A and B are shown apart, each in its own frame.
Chain A
Amino acid sequence: MADLSESDRLQQETWFQRTIRRPEIGAFVVMIVIIFALLIMSNGKAFNALGLKNNIKIISQFGIIAMGAALLMIAGEFDLSIGSMIGFAGMSMALMLKWGLPFGLGEATPFLAFIITLAMTLTLGWFIGTVVVRSGLSSFIVTLAFLFFLRGATEVGFRLINKSTQVSGLQDFKQESWFADLLGGKVFGWFYDIWFAIGQFFVDQGIDRTDQWFTLGGNLNRRGTQWVDGFDARFLWFLVISAVAYFVLSRTQLGNWIYATGDNKDAARANGVPVNRVKIGLFMFTAFCATMFAACQVFDTNTADAAKGNLMELFAIAIAVVGGTLMTGGFGSVVGVAFGAVTVGLVSNAVFFIPTIDGAWFRVFVGAILLAAVFANERIRKRITGGI
């Protein structure tokens, strides 16, 4: 039978062939190379107790916004307003915490400040999405408009209410508020407890390890207590957002709709996929990710600044692409984006562990892997679609 013999022409793939065809494979290889390069060049410092904490902090920051950007890109749209949304959300929370709720409604608790800010950013995300789908304009230009608009509004808002474009010296809300602690505090303290317990074990056995990986020596403050006592809470949020994004994209109906919307929205619409609702929802999701980024920052450092989040939208898109997301939509992987966040995060921090290098190499590197990733993704797309 003609059709049967035709499908036979398709090679049965081995496990290995299937693996190298996965969208995240390129990002995975690059990540492993970077991890080992950094390990060797920094003499292990990048992954000692403090190094790991600092690296994971920046990886999580990148990861949170890259997830939003990636899901939106898979649905075929861009959001250039992520960075300005971070600044806007940070301003909104900090001003409420410092000057109280709007319209003289009294003191703001961290929870109220967050919820009111989230309501505003989600509304903005909804509005941006609605403008994009209703006008049919390119999301590139619509969100570019919001990049300027929101950044400007943030600065104006700061000056009007606060007289200065930064807020500093807020009280340390995470001391009293469990909610602020959830966003700006420490998580996974047990990890370092185990880490140092292993180090203590070596010391007790008389095996003196001086490479400061496990020993307490390098990680004691003057009072003799360990001072790396957990990861930043944003690590938890990065994991939560990634897990939800992975689940939604690969296991749910909504995930199928996201892929379908980005691949060919007319085909999706003809089959009853609510294309516009999917896109608007994802613009709201990027706004949510930007708000989480800002909230973690505000409650961690107790400061805010009108310039926060600058250029972050471009890093988010770059990481999404490095993670295997197609610029044209319809294809991408959450796992790959997580790998991309690790890669870019590690490299952006590398200067702190390898003092001899010029920090500007970071952007050279990001540019280079971005270009490489675009070509690699195009190859993968061609392999999947059989060279069309």
Chain B
Amino acid sequence: MVQPYLKVEGLVKRFGPFTALGGVDLEVYPGEVHALLGDNGAGKSTLIKTLAGVHQPTEGQLYMEGTPVNFRSPRDASAAGIGTVYQDLALNQLMSVTRNFFMGRELKGPLGTLRMDEMNQIAHDEMLKIGIDFSDPTQAVGTMSGGQRQTLAIARAIYFGAKVLILDEPTSALGQVQQMGVLKTVKRVRARGDIAIIFITHNEIHSRLVGDRFTFLALGKVIGSGVAADISDKEMRRLMSGGAELGDLKQELAEI
């Protein structure tokens, strides 16, 4: 079997007396979309922030390609190949697509000058690879649609060496057409075969459309996981609502 790019073993994260994550195991494989599902407060955010180096685990160990790793900062995580695309995308609206693409990692010539033509070309090509033909990378990000911005942020993470791409609710706050655009982008990245994707979502339909493997979180614990084929729609719905049967909920509602 293929070795997982990223393996999480017994991850515990406590904030004072509060246990945000109570022993999470996770494996993500290259060329796969690993859908991470769970309700609000299930610990999804804490988990990805720990993977991204923002938080340090209280217990447990992360492995990149079999080697134990410790991320002390987001910089460590990104150097190790974890690319996180947060909901706010970390983009600057007033700056051009190219300037955003290379923000903080500009291509420099002599005297710190920007190699602007080269950067424009790269930004254009990298976005084209995952599905947007953006003719003018000198225009401001503020003029782009939400879906296009998502693509820009993903293309940027990949170009700067992400082997594990963490997408934090990439389809939320988007219109239907743009959501599909983002899912297509996710599929294209998956088709490269060398990148593992962690896809965080609330949306059962979206995760079904692109997910190869599922992990369900509730109250900081994994309550279910498996490959797509092994999980029935009914089981999925049950796990997404934190393990409660929909029938139970119906009954509870009826009692009010």
Contact = CB atoms under 8 A, between A and B. Distances in A.
B180 A256 contact: no
A272 B75 contact: yes
Contact of A385 (B93, B105, B177): B93
Interface string A262-297: 011011101111000000000000000000000000
B132 A3 contact: yes
Interface of A: 1-4, 6-7, 10, 251-257, 259-260, 263-264, 266-268, 270-273, 326, 330-331, 381, 384-386, 388
A10 B139 contact: yes
Q: Which of B86, B94, B114 has the most CB of A within 10 A?
A: B94
Contacts of B74: 270
Contact of A2 (B106, B134, B177): B177
B112 interface: yes
B111 A252 contact: yes
Contacts of B88: 266-267
A259 B95 contact: yes
B17 to A, nearest CB: 28
Interface of B: 74-75, 86, 88-95, 99, 102-106, 108, 111-114, 116, 131-136, 139-140, 142-143, 145, 147-148, 151, 177-178, 180-181, 184
A268 B113 contact: no
B104 to A, nearest CB: 4
A191 to B, nearest CB: 30
The 3 closest A-B pairs by CB, nearest first: A385-B142, A272-B104, A263-B92
Contact of A256 (B94, B114, B136): B114
Contacts of B140: 384-385
Given A2-B177, A267-B91, 4 more contacts: A10-B139, A253-B113, A270-B90, A273-B103
A206 B136 CA distance: 59
Contacts, number: 109
B45 to A, nearest CB: 15
A138 B92 CA distance: 21
Given A7-B135, A10-B139, A270-B90, A330 B103 contact: no
Given A3-B131, A251-B113, A259-B94, A271 B103 contact: yes
Nearest to B151: A3
B92 A330 contact: yes
B220 to A, nearest CB: 25
A3 B181 contact: yes
18 contacts: A4-B133, A10-B136, A251-B116, A253-B106, A256-B106, A259-B99, A260-B95, A263-B92, A263-B93, A264-B92, A264-B93, A267-B90, A267-B91, A270-B86, A271-B103, A326-B94, A385-B94, A388-B142
A212 B210 CA distance: 80
Given A10-B143, A273-B103, A259 B135 contact: no
Contact of B90 (A2, A3, A251, A266): A266
A256 B143 contact: no
Contact of B93 (A6, A7, A270, A388): A388
Given A253-B108, A331-B94, A6 B113 contact: no
Contacts of A254: 112
B251 to A, nearest CB: 42
A189 B76 CA distance: 57
Contacts of A264: 90-93
A262 to B, nearest CB: 8
A268 B108 CA distance: 18
A330 B95 contact: yes
A263 B92 CA distance: 6
